[in-house]
C-alpha cells in the first residue's frame, strides 16, 4: 500500500532579495544534493520574487513536471511572505489557523520575554491537508502537503532553519518515497580536442549506451582547455551500476585514446605532478606571455614542492636573457615570440635551476602586439626533458585571458603526453 | 508607433549540468544587472535541465509572467542542445536552416583548418520570425523573437559568448524597450578591512540614504581580499540620479579613508599598475608560496608590460639563493618563511632585474608545513621601492587557495598604499 516513489523534483526559492545583485540561493543546491542521494532528480530550479501571482504560476508549473516540489522561503510574518497564500491558491485549498502552532509561536516569544506581534499569527496558518513540520530554530513551521501522488514541501528560507527540517524529511517522508533506483555517475576528462570532435568520436557509444538496459545517459561539458564526459545510470543495484559505468568509461577512454588524461577526476596539473613524481623528475618553468600562470597552477596542487622547483617570469626581453640565458641575438634574429626563443627559455631555465624538465612559453596574448605573421594567439611552448626536446606552435582563439589559460593547459598536456610516452606535439589540434 | 516598454523579465538558464554537477549559473546574475540598469526587473529566474518538454513548459510559464524572457545555453551542436527546439514548440513555430549562419559556421571551422562536423549544421537553425544575433566568439548564434508585445532572446551559455551578445542587445533591442525609471548604481572597493568593520563605518550613512527621497539602497559584497559597496537609486532623471550617487559614494569614501582603492571599478592590479606608470617605476617579483600568482595577476592587465618586468618563482630554497640571491645562511638561520628572507627576496629580485620596485613573498599556504610558531597562513610580504623598505607579517585564515589569494591581494595593496604616500603596513588588520 505504499505510494509510488518520487523520480523528479523541482525547487522554488522564494524572495525578491535572491534576485538582487550578489545574493545567492544556496538552499536549492543543498536540496538537490540530498535528493540525488535518494535517487530523486532535480529537473528544474527557480527563484521567484515576492509576488503571489508569480508564485502561484511557479507552483502550478512545477507540478506539471515534477513529483515533488520543495519550496524555501516566504514563510515569515510580513506582507512580503506569500508562499503559504500562493500554494493554497495554486492547489485550490483553504487555510486555517493551527492552534498547536500558534501556541508554539507564542511560547517562543514568551521565552524571550516579548509579546507576540499580531502579524506572527500568520505563521500559524496551515494549508488544508498539510502536515506541520516543526522548526526548532525559528517561528516559521514548514508544511508538507500530499497532492494525489505528488507532494509540495514548504521550508523556511534561513539555511539553519531549512537544513534540519530537510534532514528530517530525508529520513522520513522524502526518504520513504525515494526511488529504489538511485543515480550513479562516472566520468573522464580530455585535453587538446574540441567538443565536437569528442562528440563525433563518442556518437557510436552514445547510441549503444542509450539502447542498453537500463540506459546510460551521457553529458559533455566543455571548459577552457578541457572536455569532460559524464556518464550516468539509474539502477537499484549499486554493484552492477558501478560495473557498467566502469566498462562504459573504459570504452570511451579507448575510443578517445591518449587525449584522455583522467578517469578519476584528477586535474591536468594533478596528473602532470603525479607523473613527474613517478619519474623522479623535477620541473622548472620560464614564462613570458603567461606571466607566472603555469607555475601558479602547478603550485595550486598541495604537495607540489615535491616536483616543482620554480622558475622565472621573463616578461621583458632583457629578463629572458638575464634570468634564462636566452641569447640576445636569438631574440633579435627571430623575435621574442618564436620557436628558437621558446626552446632557449626551456633549456635555459632547466640549466639554471638544475631540474630534469624545463618548460618555456612565449606568445602574444593580446589585445595588442599581433602582426600579420604572428597574430594575437600565437604561442610557442617548448618542453625539454632528459628524453626529448619538443616545441609546439599554437594559435589560440580568444581574448587575453583565454589565450593565456589555453597556453597553460597546453603546456601541462605536453608534459603529460611526454611523460606517458606519447608525442607531445603530434596530438595537438 | 513604438512598442510598450518592458517592465518584467525572466531568465532561464538551460543545462542539466547546472542542476547536477555543482556548476553555477553566473549568466542570470549578469543579465539581471544589465536589465536593472534599463529599468527592467527580473521577477523570476530558473534553471531547467536538457529536456525538451520541461523547457517548453518553462518558456510558456515565463511568457505568462514576463514581458521578455532571456534564455542562456542549450544552443550547441549536440543532442543535448534543445533550446531552439523547445522554444519553437512553445511558440508553435517552425524552424529553418539559415544560409548566412551556415556559411559563418563553416568559415569558422575553415579558419582552423578543420572540416565542419555535420552536427554543427544544427546551429544554423533559426526559429521562424527570429532575428539572428551574431556570435563572434563561437559557433552558436543567438536569436531574438518578437512574440506580440513580448520577446524571447536565446543567448549562448559560455559567458564570453553570451556577454558581448547581451551588451549589443542592451544597446539595441532591449535598450529601446527599457522603462522610464532606470536603476543607476555606483560603488567603491575596499582592501584590507573586514565586512563587519566596513558595515559599522557605513551604518550612519545607510540611515541617511534610506530616509532620502527617492531613497538610496546599498549592498555590501564581500569577496576574497576585497569588500565592495554598491549604492542604487531608481529614477527617471539620469543627471540627478548620478549626482546623488556621486555624492553618496564620496561620503562613503571619506568615511572609509585610505582603505578605498577605487570608486571607478578598477581592480587592485589596475590601480597598482596605473600608479607605477605615473611614478615611472617598474616592478619585479620574487614569489615562494604564491608560486607565480602575483606576477600572473599583474600581467592579467592588458598593457602591463609597461610596468612589470617579471621575476622569479623560488619555490624551492635552492632557487631562492640561485635566482634571487637570498643568502643561504639567512634561510638556515631564520627559516625560509621569515621576514629577513622576504626582505632578501624583494631586494634580490629588484637588483637582479634592475627595476625600481621589488616584491618578495614567502609563507606557508598549507595544508602541510605549519608549526606552532608559524602556523598555516603565516605569510611575509616585503616591498622595496626607492622610497621605502617594508615587510608585513600576515596570518591569513583559510585553505591553501584562500591563503595564496589573500597574499597576492595584500601584496598589491601594499604597493598601492606605498605609491599613494600611505604606510603600506600600518593599515593592515
Cell of A115: 509579546
Per-residue pLDDT, A235: 87
Question: What distances in angstroms separate CA A32 from CA A14, A235, A418, one per listed residue?
Answer: 16, 18, 41
CB contact under 8 A, A299 and B292: yes
Does A192 lie in the same domain as A157? no
Q: Which residue has better confidence, B375 or A78?
A: B375
Helices A52-65 and A83-91 sit at what angle, rounded to 10 degrees?
50
Q: What is the CATH number of the domain that holds B253?
A: 3.30.70.1120
Residue in chain B closest to A323 (alpha carbons) equals B323
**Cα maximum dimension of chain A:** 90
Q: Is A327 left (phi over 0), alpha (psi -120 to 50) or beta?
A: beta
Q: Are A288 and A249 in contact (CB under 8 A)?
A: no
Q: Which residue do the cell numbers 542604487 mark? A: B232
Q: B12 lies in which domain range?
A: 8-177
A313 to B310: CB separation less than 8 angstroms, yes or no: yes
Q: A43 to chain B: which residues are within 8 Å by CB?
A: 19, 48-49, 51, 54
DSSP category for residue A300: T
Query: With bands split at pLDDT 50, 70 and 90, how would you rate the model's confidence at A194?
Result: confident
Q: pTM for the full model?
A: 0.81
CATH number, domain of B345, equals 3.90.950.20
Total beta-carbon pairs less than 8 A apart between chain A and chain B:
228
Distance between CA B333 and CA B299 in Å, rounded?
34
SS3 call for B386:
coil
Position with higher pLDDT, A199 vs B426: A199
Substitution target in B10, B44, B270 with the highest count of A β-carbons within 10 Å is B44
Q: Where are the beta strands (DSSP E) in A18-105?
A: 41-48, 68-72, 95-97
Digit-coded pLDDT (tens) for A66-80: 999 999 999 988 888
Task: State whether A143 and A160 are in the same domain.
Answer: yes
Contact A54 B46 (CB under 8 A): no
- pLDDT tens string A360-413: 999 999 999 999 999 999 999 999 999 999 999 999 988 999 999 999 999 999
Task: Tell me which DSSP letter residue A421 carries.
Answer: T
Distance (Å) from the alpha carbon of B222 to chain A's nearest alpha carbon = 9
In chain B, residues with a C-beta closer than 8 Å to the C-beta of A300 are 291, 400-401, 404
- Do A297 and A351 have their domain in common? yes
Q: What pLDDT does A255 receive?
A: 97
Final residue before a domain boundary, out of A245, A262, A279: A262
Are B319 and A309 a contacting pair at CB < 8 A?
yes
Say if CB B86 and CB B48 are below 8 A apart. Answer: no
Q: What are the chain A neighbours of B47 within 8 Å (beta carbons)?
A: 44-46
User: In chain A, which residues have their Cβ closer than 8 Å to the Cβ of B22?
Assistant: 29
ipTM score here? 0.81
Between β-strands A357-363 and A283-287, what pairing exists: parallel, antiparallel or unpaired? Answer: parallel
B167 to A136, A268, A347, B170, B196: CA distances (angstroms): 47, 34, 45, 5, 35
A209 located within any domain: yes
Residue B275 in grid coordinates: 600608479
Which run of H or E residues covers position B311?
Answer: strand B308-314
Contact between B61 and A61 using a beta-carbon 8 Å cutoff? yes
Q: Report which DSSP code applies to A376.
A: T
Rg of the Cα trace of chain B? 26
Q: Which residues of B touch A311 (CB under 8 A)?
A: 292, 312-313
Q: What is the per-residue pLDDT for A421? A: 94
SS3 sequence, A163-193? HHHHHHHHHCHHHHCCCCCEEEEEEEEECCC
pLDDT digits (tens, 9 = 90+) for B15-26: 988 886 556 788
In a domain, A23, yes or no: yes
Residues of B in contact with A36 (CB under 8 A): 20
The pLDDT, as a whole number, for residue A308 is 97
Residue A396: CB atoms within 10 A of its CB come to 22
Shared-domain flag, residues A326 and A246: no
Q: Distance of CA A269 to CAs A371, A413, A415, Å?
A: 32, 9, 10
Q: CB–CB of B424/B387 below 8 Å?
A: no
Q: Is residue A429 part of a domain?
A: no
Considering only CB atoms, B44 lies closest to which of A47, A291, A292, namely A47
Q: Which residues pair with A187 in a beta bridge?
A: A230
Q: Considering only the beta carbons, identify the residue of A41, A54, A299 that sits closest to B65.
A: A54
The answer to whether residue B3 sits within a structural domain is no
Q: Do A315 and B294 touch (CB under 8 A)?
A: no
Chain A residues with CB inside 8 Å of B81's CB? none
- Nearest-CA distance B216 → chain A (Å): 15
Nearest CB neighbour to B313, from listed A206, A311, A401 = A311
Whether residues B154 and B84 fall in one domain: yes
CB nearest A313 (choices: B80, B311, B322): B311
Residue contact B309–A323, C-beta within 8 A: no
In a domain, A36, yes or no: yes
Q: Which DSSP state fits A237? A: -
Instruction: Note whether A254 and A278 are same-domain residues.
Output: no
Q: Is A352 close to B315, i.e. CB distance below 8 A?
A: no
Chain A residues touching B286 at Cβ < 8 A: none
Chain A residues with CB-CB distance to B119 below 8 A: 196, 199-200
* Contacts with A402 from chain B: Cβ below 8 Å: 160
Give yes or no: residues A37 and A107 share one domain. Answer: yes
Q: pLDDT grade, residue B322 (50/70/90)?
A: very high
Residue range A227-256, pLDDT digits in tens: 999 998 888 898 999 999 999 999 999 999
From chain B, the residues in CB contact with A411 under 8 A are none
- More confident position, A117 or A281: A281
The chain-wide mean pLDDT, for chain B, equals 93
- Do B127 and B95 fall into the same domain? yes
Same-domain check for residues B295 and B231? no
Write the DSSP symbol of residue B139: S
CA distance B33 to chain A (A): 7
B376 shares a domain with B288:
yes
Task: Out of B230, B296, B353, name the one closest to residue A292 (CB).
Answer: B296
Distance CA(B65)–CA(A53), nearest Å, equals: 8
pLDDT of residue A427: 54
Nearest to B76 by CA among B28, B30, B138: B138
Q: Closest approach of chain B CAs to the CA of A150, in angstroms? A: 17
Name residue, grid cell 539555511.
A159
C-alpha cell at A350: 632547466
Same domain for B122 and B205: no
Is A21's CB within 8 Å of B43's CB?
no
Let me know whether B414 and B364 are in one domain.
Answer: yes
Residue where a domain terminates, one of B177, B192, B220: B177
For chain A, give the percent of residues with pLDDT over 90: 76
Q: What is the DSSP letter of A74?
A: -
**Pick from A239, A187, A183, A190: which is nearest to A215 by CA?**
A183
**Number of helical H runs and strand E runs in chain A:** 14, 17
Please name the residue of chain B whose CA is at the shortest distance from the CA of residue A301: B400
Closest Cα to residue A323, out of A362, A294, A351? A351
Q: Residue A301 — φ and ψ, nearest 5°?
A: -75, 120
| B392 bridge partner residues | B381
B94 Cα to chain A: minimum distance (Å): 24
Nearest CA in chain B to A290: B296
| Of residues A138, A62, A39, A139, the one with CA closest to residue A98 | A139
**Terminal-residue alpha carbon distance, chain A:** 59
Last residue of a domain, one of B177, B207, B240: B177
Q: Which of A407, A345, A405 has the alpha carbon at shortest distance from A378?
A: A407
Chain B residue whose CA is closest to A42: B19
The CATH number of whichever domain residue B102 belongs to comes to 3.40.980.10
Q: How many domains does chain B contain in total?
A: 3
With CA atoms as reference, report the closest residue to A359 among A395, A407, A306: A407
The residue among B72, B87, B78 whose CA lies nearest residue B23 is B72
Nearest CA in chain A to B55: A44
**Which of B21, B291, B318 minimises the CB distance to A230?**
B21
- How distant is the Cα of B42 from the closest Cα of chain A, in angstroms? 7
End-to-end CA, chain B: 60
The answer to whether residue A51 sits within a structural domain is yes
Residue among A45, A65, A308 minimizing CB distance to B19: A45
pLDDT classification of A428: cutoffs 50, 70, 90: very low
**A53: nearest CA in chain B?**
B65
pLDDT in tens, A258-282: 999 999 999 999 999 999 999 999 9
Q: Can you tell me whether residue A53 is helix, strand or coil?
A: helix
User: Looking at beta carbons, which residues of chain B come within 8 Å of A44?
Assistant: 19, 46-49, 54, 58
Chain B residues in contact with A230 by the CB 8 A cut-off are 17, 21
Instruction: Indicate whether B375 belongs to any domain.
Output: yes
DSSP B175-237: GGG--SSEEEEEEEEE-SS-HHHHHHHHHHHHHHHHHSSSPPEEEEEEETTEEEEEEEEEES-
Distance from CA of B374 to the nearest CA of A (A): 18
Closest by Cβ to A200, choosing from B29, B58, B117: B117
Predicted pLDDT at A118: 86
B56-114 pLDDT, tens per residue?
A: 999 999 999 999 999 999 999 988 899 999 999 999 999 999 999 999 889 888 888 88
Cβ-nearest to A400 among B47, B302, B310: B302
- Whole-angstrom distance, CA of residue B393 vs CA of residue A246: 50
Q: DSSP characters for A264-297?
A: S---HHHHHHHHHHHHT--EEEEESTTTTHHHHH
Residue B304 lies in a domain: yes
Q: What's the pLDDT at B1?
A: 39
Residue B316 main-chain phi, psi, to 5 deg = -90, 155
Amino acid at each position: 500500500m505504499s505510494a509510488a516513489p518520487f523520480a523528479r523534483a523541482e525547487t522554488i526559492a522564494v524572495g525578491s532579495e535572491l534576485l538582487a545583485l550578489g545574493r545567492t540561493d544556496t538552499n536549492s543546491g543543498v536540496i538537490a544534493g540530498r535528493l540525488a542521494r535518494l535517487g530523486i532528480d532535480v529537473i528544474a530550479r527557480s527563484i521567484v520574487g515576492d509576488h503571489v501571482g508569480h508564485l502561484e504560476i511557479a507552483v502550478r508549473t512545477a507540478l506539471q513536471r515534477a513529483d515533488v516540489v520543495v519550496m524555501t522561503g516566504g514563510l515569515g510574518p510580513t506582507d512580503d511572505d506569500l508562499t503559504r497564500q500562493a500554494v493554497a491558491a495554486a492547489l485550490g485549498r483553504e487555510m486555517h489557523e493551527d492552534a498547536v502552532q500558534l501556541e508554539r509561536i507564542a511560547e517562543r516569544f514568551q521565552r524571550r520575554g516579548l509579546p507576540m506581534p499580531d502579524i506572527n499569527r500568520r505563521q500559524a496558518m496551515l494549508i488544508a491537508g498539510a502536515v506541520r513540520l516543526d522548526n526548532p530554530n525559528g517561528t516559521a513551521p514548514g508544511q508538507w502537503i500530499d497532492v494525489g501522488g505528488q507532494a509540495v514541501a514548504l521550508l523556511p528560507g534561513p539555511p539553519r532553519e531549512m537544513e534540519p527540517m530537510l534532514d528530517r524529511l530525508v529520513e522520513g517522508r522524502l526518504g520513504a518515497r525515494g526511488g529504489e533506483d538511485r543515480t550513479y555517475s562516472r566520468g573522464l576528462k580530455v585535453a587538446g580536442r574540441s567538443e565536437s570532435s569528442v562528440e563525433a568520436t563518442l556518437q557510436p557509444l552514445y547510441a549503444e549506451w542509450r539502447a542498453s538496459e537500463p540506459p546510460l545517459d551521457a553529458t559533455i561539458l566543455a571548459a577552457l582547455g578541457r572536455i569532460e564526459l559524464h556518464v550516468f545510470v539509474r539502477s537499484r543495484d549499486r554493484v552492477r551500476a558501478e560495473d557498467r559505468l566502469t566498462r562504459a568509461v573504459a570504452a570511451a577512454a579507448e575510443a578517445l585514446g591518449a587525449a584522455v588524461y583522467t578517469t578519476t577526476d584528477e586535474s591536468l596539473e594533478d596528473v602532470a605532478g603525479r607523473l613527474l613524481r613517478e619519474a623522479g623528475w623535477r620541473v622548472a618553468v620560464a614564462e613570458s606571455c603567461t606571466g607566472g600562470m603555469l607555475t601558479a597552477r602547478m603550485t595550486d596542487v598541495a604537495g607540489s614542492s615535491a616536483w616543482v622547483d620554480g622558475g622565472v617570469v621573463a616578461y621583458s626581453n632583457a629578463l629572458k636573457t638575464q634570468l634564462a640565458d636566452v641569447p640576445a641575438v636569438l631574440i633579435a634574429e627571430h623575435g621574442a615570440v618564436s620557436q628558437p626563443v621558446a626552446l632557449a627559455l626551456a633549456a635555459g631555465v632547466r640549466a639554471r635551476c638544475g631540474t630534469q624538465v624545463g618548460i618555456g612559453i612565449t606568445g602574444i596574448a593580446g589585445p595588442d602586439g599581433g602582426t600579420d605573421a604572428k597574430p594575437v594567439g600565437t604561442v610557442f611552448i617548448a618542453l625539454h626533458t632528459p628524453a626529448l626536446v619538443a616545441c609546439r606552435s599554437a594559435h589560440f582563439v580568444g581574448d587575453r585571458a583565454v589565450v593565456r589559460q589555453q597556453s597553460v593547459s597546453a603546456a601541462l598536456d605536453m608534459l603529460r603526453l611526454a611523460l606517458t610516452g606519447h608525442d607531445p606535439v603530434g596530438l595537438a589540434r
